Amino acid sequence: MDNFEIMAFSNSAINRPLLFALYFFIYLVGLLGNIIIIACVITDLHLHKPMYIFLGNLAAVDMILTTSTLPKLMDILLTGNNTIFYGECFAQLCFYTFTAYTEATLLSFMAYDRYVAICKPLYYHLIMNRRHYMLCLMGIWMFAAFNALFITLIMWQIKICHSNKIQHFFCEIKALNRIVCANIRLHLILYLEIILLGLFPFLLSVTSYIQIISIILRIPSTTGQKKAFST
């Protein structure tokens, strides 16, 4: 099989040029906004702190995600040709998997950073020093890249049984899983991915914010509570 067909708007009577213009505007605004965030974090020395460094990395991840998915969608809307080549599809899968894990993990580390800042302020500069958060960032990006390549290679090896029509607006793992041959190993890997790369970062974020709210509510003064919530 040389290509797939993206079927997200195949049965829609919507004005495709109008939809293209809308997505193009959203893409440009998002791209410009993320570039401004990254530029501010890099150039302003006052923003060289873990929270803003994580935010800059989150903006970079968002740029990778939108650039790997929206341009192809806009091309489909503009030309009406909903074909996507095999290699392009798996490139989208790889970048989407990479950005999804990176974003989830970055958000959980941002929550942990706020937990340390509020609940352990005296130890903040010891725990979240430059060496520690840079190692965290390197680990997140490297592991996300390895995991994305691992998932993409597994999906590449599985045969397509049902159809070459993808009921989505880009190639992502759930959409591809609907058209591949039944594979127990793939299902086990996907369940492990959900638990390890989805549930754990989510629980870290939730636990951090529960601890933060619990600590803040125990502050006796209203002024202290407002200051902590602001942080």
Domain boundaries, the chain: 3-230
**What's the average model confidence in pLDDT over 113-142?**
89
Distances (CA, A) of 208 to 31, 58, 140, 188, 212: 30, 19, 19, 29, 6
- Decide if 82 contacts 7 (C-beta within 8 A): yes
Say whether pLDDT at 223 is over 60.
yes
**What's the average model confidence in pLDDT over 126-147?**
91
Q: How many whole angstroms separate alpha carbon 150 and alpha carbon 186?
A: 11
**What's the average model confidence in pLDDT over 102-108?**
91
What confidence score (pLDDT) does residue 102 get?
93
Among 77-81, 136-140, 156-160, name the most confident range.
136-140
Strand 3-6 and strand 83-85: pairing? antiparallel
Distances (CA, A) of 64 to 43, 46, 59, 185: 21, 26, 9, 29
pTM (two decimals): 0.85
What confidence score (pLDDT) does residue 34 get?
95
| Mean pLDDT for the chain overall | 87
**What's the average model confidence in pLDDT over 37-46?**
92
Say whether pLDDT at 200 is over 90.
no
Say whether pLDDT at 1 is over 60.
no
pLDDT band for position 54 (cuts 50, 70, 90): very high
* Four-way CATH pick for 3-230: 3.40.50.720, 1.10.8.60, 1.20.1070.10, 2.170.190.11: 1.20.1070.10
Q: How many whole angstroms separate alpha carbon 105 and alpha carbon 138?
A: 12
What confidence score (pLDDT) does residue 221 get?
79
Ranges of beta strands (E only) in 45-123 are 83-85
Distances (CA, A) of 4 to 65, 82, 160, 175, 179: 20, 8, 10, 12, 11
